[in-house]
Structure 1
Amino acid sequence: MSNTSTGWMALLTGVNAIRTLALVGGVALHAINLYIGTTILPTVVRDIGGLEYYAWNTALFVVASIISAAMATQVLGKLGPRFAYVVGAVIFAVGSLACALAPSMPVMLAGRVVQGFGGGLLLALPYAMIRLLYDEALWPRAIGLLSGMWGVATLVGPAIGGVFAQLDAWRMAFGTLIPAAALFTVLAVCVIPRRNSMDRPPSSVPWVQLTLLAGAVIAVSAGGVSAQAAWNAAGVAVAVLLSVLLVVIDKHAPNRLLPKDAFRSGSVLGALYLTMALLAMMVTSTEIFAPLFFQVLHAQTPLASGYLAAIMSAGWTVGSLMSSSATGSRVRLAIRSAPLLALAGMVALAVLMPAPTDGNWRMLGLLCIAMTAVGLAVGIAWPHLSARVLQIAPPGEENLAASSIMTVELFATALGAALAGMVANLGGLSSPGGVAGTSGAAQWLFGLFVLVPVLCLFTSWQTARARPAIETKEASSAV
């Protein structure tokens, strides 16, 4: 590649333009599918049933994505860039077809698992391919475009899901993903090289840890199907046991999910991961049920409820853009103040969301402000939490630290969905159901998850107190 320009034109013209379209298309398919799923789920359960398995749709999809994303470098090394991308897109399309044709919730869940395996590859492979396809000077802009697809998904996903849900054609929402996957597959075949130029073989997949991780999420999901507290407690107990085993094994394994310092007592790196996991869990627990709450409790259409639910993710994006340029003491202020803003938003949601209304604009406005506050809080802290992970990573584990950010976020998303499903069912979502059951579910969900930003008050204080080497150097230069 002869063009070493760092400008956008070098990335968005010529053969690079087609390569970029193929890569961002893969990430976009994964992200848009998440928002399509959350938007149409209330319509899906009214059609084929399975309300008690509502949260499983997100939990299983994300667990499958975690496993396949962890396999991405292995797949890339064995199949080569072109065929690896094609395999991911084909698996995703097959899963989408299964969801579109699903006659019952078990078939839908199976389709979501297949979608997740394909989607995880489409999410992880583009990041791994950047250094294979572009000059190094273009890497930052390429990464920025891939990250920006989540913002695009908050606009496109609810629109696709909402329109088809209102037309009582939710199956077509999944169907639209199939030709899109086919298009990006064709582009990949045309411009992505067949052979892999990686200079060293990829490390082996940590199967034991991934199995324990998936088992923990499934245990919580299984426990959450019942409204009986004993069954719920058993599911949580099994999940805790599996999580402890995961920590013990990963701490001593030659091939780990997280850097070695993550599990050390008093570790700042561990506090960083815990803070990020709590923040991601808080957003997920709110977003997956928000479309249902807005439709049943506040008389909103599927399209409107999809966009109202996406407000939180939009706030996350805006908060990240606002906060990303902060340095020095402003970074510590952002990390410490984020849990307070999130706490205010979650308390407001706990008070306002459970009360049924006729959809008056005053109540909707207050709910939007509360959801925006939670999203902004996460966005304000997230760039700096991620940067600190990279800055204090143990020598030689910088790449593992970078990949672990996505692992932690996806695991927290899956676990948050599973826990939210358990709490909602315990609150009456499936029994007695209806407006009363949905109101009880909202009250339990936000009432319990308001504890998450409270925990973040403690973990974020520890992470903000640590001063990475780069920050210390900046302070010394200023003096």
Structure 2
Amino acid sequence: MKFRVGGAVRDQRGEHAVRYPLQQCVGQQFDALDEITPGAFVSFFGQHLGGFDPLPAGFLGAALAAGWTVGSMLSAGRAGQARQLMAIAPLVSAIGLTGLALSAHPEASLITVLLWVVLLFVAGSGVGIAWPHMMTTVMSTGRTPEEKDTASASITTVQLIATALGASLAGTVTNLAGIDGDAYAIGTAARWLYGTFAVIVFLGVLYANRIVPPYETSRSEA
């Protein structure tokens, strides 16, 4: 028999079986939101590397949003596989960002641009896969209703802070890599941007599956 005490599950001997503290949830939110931060530069890269006008280049960013939406729709109803989905989500996004880093070159062909669309969709889907289970875990963290309310209220704050920090990091990386230069310098900046965030996102694999408690535990408490 197992029961929950605070952010951990204990058995009758008082031994900790699973831990999913709020701090790890916050860290995973930062990691997930970092996956989409490079999207702010997608339109710029589409213009200078793909040769698109501003309007069609702007639609490249929609692939990220589409991936997030589809990933959430496919993942939301799979509570029994939450731990596995949380573990693979950062890996999926890291694959997308790595592919973008390897294919970001000036004078890109139409086929390369279409590949960007697919890779952006993959990167966004990683966020969507994790997001429903991440939010559920955050809102259920806490020993009392007041603690749960505090955890739930932190979601928006964490999103704002993560987005701001991610944008700052992205701006720093691209400026140091020479984004204000010619097309080849912009290509270098794109590769550094996508590569840097691919590494950051991949680190989420190391602890993502520890956040959500096993489904069997959740069912026993219902």
Alignment of 1:139-158 (within 5 A): none
The aligned counterpart of 1:403 is 153
* CA offset digits 1:376-427 (Å, max 9, x no partner): 0110110101100111223122222112111111111111001000000000
The answer to whether the aligner puts 1:357 opposite 2:107 as a matched pair is: yes
Report the AA paired with residue 278 of structure 1. D
Report the AA paired with residue 29 of structure 2. M
Q: CA deviation at 1:473?
A: 4.3
The aligned counterpart of 1:294 is 46
Structure 2 residue corresponding to 1:282, chosen from 35, 40, 45 = 35
Number of residue equivalences: 205
State whether residues 83 and 214 of structure 2, in contact with CA within 8 Å, keep that contact through their aligned partners in structure 1: no
Q: CA deviation at 1:267?
A: 5.8
When structure 1 is superposed on structure 2, of 341-350 and 417-426 the one drifting more is 341-350
Structure 2 residue corresponding to 1:335, chosen from 86, 90, 96 = 86
Q: CA deviation at 1:281?
A: 1.6
Cα distance in 1 for residues equivalent to 2:78 and 2:30? 22
The aligned counterpart of 1:440 is 188
Cα distance in 1 for residues equivalent to 2:110 and 2:31? 31
Cα distance in 2 for residues equivalent to 1:450 and 1:473? 32
Q: Which runs of 4+ in 1 moved over 2 A?
A: none
The aligned counterpart of 1:385 is 134
Q: CA deviation at 1:475?
A: 5.0
- SS in structure 2 of the partner of residue 289 of structure 1: helix
Structure 2 residue corresponding to 1:472, chosen from 214, 217, 220 = 217
* CA offset digits 1:36-83 (Å, max 9, x no partner): xxxxxxxxxxxxxxxxxxxxxxxxxxxxxxxxxxxxxxxxxxxxxxxx
Cα distance in 1 for residues equivalent to 2:143 and 2:48? 49
Cα distance in 2 for residues equivalent to 1:274 and 1:383? 15
Structure 1 residue corresponding to 2:123, chosen from 363, 367, 374 = 374
The aligned counterpart of 2:3 is none
Cα distance in 1 for residues equivalent to 2:112 and 2:125? 20
The aligned counterpart of 2:10 is none
Report the AA paired with residue 156 of structure 2. M
* CA offset digits 1:150-171 (Å, max 9, x no partner): xxxxxxxxxxxxxxxxxxxxxx
Q: Structure 1 473/333 Cα, relative in aligned 2: closer, same or farther at 3 Å? A: closer
Cα distance in 2 for residues equivalent to 1:319 and 1:294? 24
- SS in structure 2 of the partner of residue 300 of structure 1: coil
The aligned counterpart of 2:71 is 319
The answer to whether the aligner puts 1:416 opposite 2:169 as a matched pair is: no
State whether residues 141 and 151 of structure 2, in contact with CA within 8 Å, keep that contact through their aligned partners in structure 1: no
TM-score after normalising by structure 1: 0.41
The aligned counterpart of 1:244 is none
Report the AA paired with residue 472 of structure 1. T
Alignment of 1:163-202 (within 5 A): none
Q: CA deviation at 1:437?
A: 2.1
State whether residues 174 and 190 of structure 2, in contact with CA within 8 Å, keep that contact through their aligned partners in structure 1: yes
Q: CA deviation at 1:334?
A: 1.0
Q: Structure 1 401/369 Cα, relative in aligned 2: closer, same or farther at 3 Å? A: same
State whether residues 35 and 124 of structure 2, in contact with CA within 8 Å, keep that contact through their aligned partners in structure 1: no
TM-score after normalising by structure 2: 0.85
Unaligned runs of 5+ residues in structure 2 are 1-5, 8-18
Q: CA deviation at 1:476?
A: 7.1
Question: Which protein has the bigger helix share?
Answer: 1
Cα distance in 1 for residues equivalent to 2:184 and 2:88? 35
State whether residues 427 and 443 of structure 1, in contact with CA within 8 Å, keep that contact through their aligned partners in structure 2: no
State whether residues 345 and 373 of structure 1, in contact with CA within 8 Å, keep that contact through their aligned partners in structure 2: yes
State whether residues 45 and 186 of structure 2, in contact with CA within 8 Å, keep that contact through their aligned partners in structure 1: yes
Structure 1 residue corresponding to 2:204, chosen from 456, 462, 469 = 456
Q: CA deviation at 1:341?
A: 0.8
State whether residues 75 and 132 of structure 2, in contact with CA within 8 Å, keep that contact through their aligned partners in structure 1: yes
Cα distance in 2 for residues equivalent to 1:308 and 1:294? 7
What's the Cα RMSD here? 2.0
State whether residues 274 and 459 of structure 1, in contact with CA within 8 Å, keep that contact through their aligned partners in structure 2: no
* CA offset digits 1:67-108 (Å, max 9, x no partner): xxxxxxxxxxxxxxxxxxxxxxxxxxxxxxxxxxxxxxxxxx
Alignment of 1:24-423 (within 5 A): 268-284=21-37, 286-328=38-80, 330-353=81-104, 355-358=105-108, 360-395=109-144, 396-423=146-173
- SS in structure 2 of the partner of residue 450 of structure 1: helix
Cα distance in 2 for residues equivalent to 1:403 and 1:392? 12
- SS in structure 2 of the partner of residue 288 of structure 1: helix
* Percent identical residues: 33
Q: Structure 1 293/419 Cα, relative in aligned 2: closer, same or farther at 3 Å? A: same
The aligned counterpart of 1:55 is none
Question: Which protein has the bigger strand share?
Answer: 2
* CA offset digits 1:407-452 (Å, max 9, x no partner): 111111111001000000000012xx12122112112111211112
Q: CA deviation at 1:322?
A: 1.4
